[in-house]
Structure 1
């Protein structure tokens, strides 16, 4: 893979609220922004200093298959990510790293000399996206499970760039990695070694500029950043065409959405916007004085939320849908069932309300995406993503809707839908084959037999 550099590529797809991309920073401004970032978060730069326009791309450009190689995958059930019914007995033709045909095999014109791969009995899907994955800077990284599970792209929302220095010069085959850089938080930060600590709107703007200059394709807001500084960060991100996503505790979700965030991480982030205002105020006071108290007080808050006849529910849902806010629930990390894994009536009741709220979001038309948060209490090591999709079905989504959330909708959240997320001519060949029918039984997503990344087989087949 070689040294990690920011990839050149096509102009980024315009996102909701996005302004015309401003010109690239001149070298002096870019240098100043990088110095500010290093002072704020104390990490080494890995981004491109060439001055080329920022693109919403992974930090580890994937070496695609040679253009001379043509592979025809035949006989599979094609679930293309658009949400429609599967195409039976389909054919997908890949030339180099690009899909040149996807559809019924009867309509395919397979080029002479193409390598034919019989996928009869399998389902063919776009590579999955994980919208919320945290790698650890250790020798045994959970990242190594991602490709094996069919996840070809992931975003780490909020870990600093230093956590990914191991990518430099590393030939390990890994998914496309989209980074946000260190999350933006206010003092005292919940995670001092991971945060860019912000005290003014100007610092929020400078931190965003520096993150983007180094390769960030998203910006992560954390729990203490006040709404006015969130707004400044969003305005700066707008100028770069980069989405902003937020983990909230002290700022209400409706206020953060009003400030301009594109996504909300964790279903718990909606708690103070849904709870009785007096209960929300107590939560904010306790957690505001002790960040660690959030782990005890989130279930307390959520166990007391009544969604039926809640006057705050409909306005919040309307706002989420109107603004096109992406919702990344990460349900699996909050799962609690009475009598299992030390759950209490409070934590179990809280989780039931979280599931219910995800169902409300879905029925109302919110853009829900899939994120694993790496590990979960009811999932084996490396299987948090599978547990997350199972819980989304439990919340009321159909398996096919969950697949669409995991592929097409997630690619939109990443700003990468111009080349990834669906199986169609002109898209990059990130594909998976499954020995089952995941559109009927979501558990079949755990039966990935083959993975293709950029036109190269990386699981199940020699190139």
Structure 2
């Protein structure tokens, strides 16, 4: 039976397998989410039995007749469930734990809290135990110096393992809770073993020559009429007029006369699921929709760390078709939420959190509502020392935003919540190197910009969007829509302010915020134009400037020899009609050319159908 099956575990005697059938998530077939819960089945096969409808991370201890499960709400808890009676009893609860792991012999409980690993004797009693690193009712030892997750035990319960990015750590429990233990003994593990591996980045062997098009290079204001682009593998080999570029022998020539070629769109503030319960789908319709609408690079400043970096590496290796994926991973949250709270009271605290995210693949972090200014400053300084970018959550407060500019964040994410700015803000911002990603689709100060496009256009009929987005995701939001007069839409003001800042030299960047797969990026471009940007300026805010903002402009953002072959072919001329940007015929990502109408790769076999295309 198709479904999302995760977290399998064997009973101590090897006769029973317990697993979780997961629900939720929009990127996989919704029928796979039916009848979720934790099930048991004989190791020899046969019918499964539902044990409990709630909980996750099922695990055995020393006994074969019971399992332990976690639940996240209202507090993280560990409960015991009797397999025969299905009776559930809560054993432990915590304020911030993200993992509980009972040792195979049932003697110890390991847990992770605020990204560190601890161990304590395991106790089952009638009253729920509130456990935490500073608990005094039971002995507790911190085992990790650096961050840790993915806790597991050795079969003999004498060693505990955890990981941080590519590093595997292990601690011996020998003598850990001996009654005559030396109080000065330090059980903390300071270093781990690198168990990472390398994978060759994907590179196609094909050579393409796209001929006859108008080419918006984004190399200054250069626009080439009747031009040619030659790609060789994943790089651009030549760009120029038709009479100045020699087409190599063996190149596949694609005649795109009368069309426009521009760099692929760089979405500096994207969101969207890349996995479901750590399952990375072989085809993610969100990614196909984005590519079909010309988005070739995304930077997601808030996503599940384990899922998005796995998807990023799979995209680089050519295992999935997707835009280039970059992310901060999980936010550095200032509020109180298990798995998110990043407590920062010093520069060392800030470096701890940035180091753990850098280990898993981040080159940027999202400083999200850290309540005190010096906390935000500590994150910025840690970023400077560790060579990482720091983007903050704007928070819709102007004074808050301005301190972020003064303190030197990489940029301000989300719009500043005012209709006008004056010389004080213009002078302040223009003398900084702080960028601006206003995410006009969710702009503050009035009705969100995305509502304008639902109001004024038939989004559900869009030829690309309706092809790659399942109806249950597209129709409810787009067919029944709010109507309002134009002057109620504040994004016009937000876009005008963005234009003013761009004129002063501030990097103003497209950020579609994941509002509507692929199409929302074009809404951002069109809204920039509504605010007064010329078509070329709006295209620059969608390509070269966000590439600069995230430090990738040496490789993407413009069409120049030696850069990566990320481009789109438009059936129209956005320099005369900016609304032509979404009329995409071809998308090229990393030198692979896709027919945007089908997302079949040119010269290759047809892709597998998405689940909703089979219905």
TM-score by length of 1: 0.72
Whether contact under 8 Å (2:435, 2:508) holds in the other structure is yes
Bigger mean CA offset, 398-407 vs 199-208: 199-208
2:304 pairs with 1:152: no
Indicate which of 308, 322, 342 corresponds to 1:164. Answer: 308
Name 1:110's counterpart in structure 2.
247
Whether contact under 8 Å (1:228, 1:259) holds in the other structure is no
More helix by share: 1
Whether contact under 8 Å (1:45, 1:161) holds in the other structure is no
Indicate which of 558, 564, 567 corresponds to 1:422. Answer: 558
Higher RCO (C-alpha 8 Å, min separation 6): 1
Name 2:287's counterpart in structure 1.
143
1:396-435 aligned at under 5 Å gives the runs 396-435=532-571
**In 1, Cα distance between equivalents of 2:351 and 2:392:** 16
Whether contact under 8 Å (2:370, 2:376) holds in the other structure is no
1:240-259 aligned at under 5 Å gives the runs 240-249=386-395, 252-259=400-407
Indicate which of 64, 88, 95 corresponds to 2:203. Answer: 64
**In 1, Cα distance between equivalents of 2:314 and 2:528:** 38
Whether contact under 8 Å (2:263, 2:566) holds in the other structure is yes
Whether contact under 8 Å (1:74, 1:90) holds in the other structure is yes
CA RMSD of aligned residues (A): 3.3
Whether contact under 8 Å (1:83, 1:404) holds in the other structure is no
2:525 pairs with 1:389: yes
Whether contact under 8 Å (2:207, 2:230) holds in the other structure is yes
Whether contact under 8 Å (2:239, 2:559) holds in the other structure is yes
The Cα of 1:173 is off from its aligned counterpart by: 0.5
SS at match of 2:521: helix
2:561 pairs with 1:452: no
Name 2:427's counterpart in structure 1.
318
Where does the alignment leave 5 or more consecutive residues of structure 2 unmatched? 1-143, 152-161, 169-190, 192-197, 456-480, 604-615
1:35-184 aligned at under 5 Å gives the runs 35=148, 47-48=165-166, 63-66=202-205, 69-136=206-273, 137-138=275-276, 142-164=286-308, 167=311, 171-184=319-332
Whether contact under 8 Å (1:182, 1:196) holds in the other structure is no
SS at match of 1:100: strand
Whether contact under 8 Å (1:429, 1:455) holds in the other structure is yes
Name 1:222's counterpart in structure 2.
368
Where does the alignment leave 5 or more consecutive residues of structure 1 unmatched? 1-30, 39-43, 52-58, 272-301
For each residue in 1:16-61, what CA deviation from the matched residue of structure 2 results, as whole angstroms up to 9, or x when unmatched?
Answer: xxxxxxxxxxxxxxx95443999xxxxx97855599xxxxxxx998
The Cα of 1:391 is off from its aligned counterpart by: 0.8
More strand by share: 2
For each residue in 1:113-155, what CA deviation from the matched residue of structure 2 results, as whole angstroms up to 9, or x when unmatched?
Answer: 2222212111111111111111124476633321111111001
SS at match of 1:452: strand
Whether contact under 8 Å (1:142, 1:374) holds in the other structure is no
**In 1, Cα distance between equivalents of 2:301 and 2:341:** 11
Bigger mean CA offset, 381-390 vs 171-180: 381-390
Higher Rg of the two aligned structures? 2
**In 1, Cα distance between equivalents of 2:225 and 2:409:** 40
**In 2, Cα distance between equivalents of 1:45 and 1:375:** 34
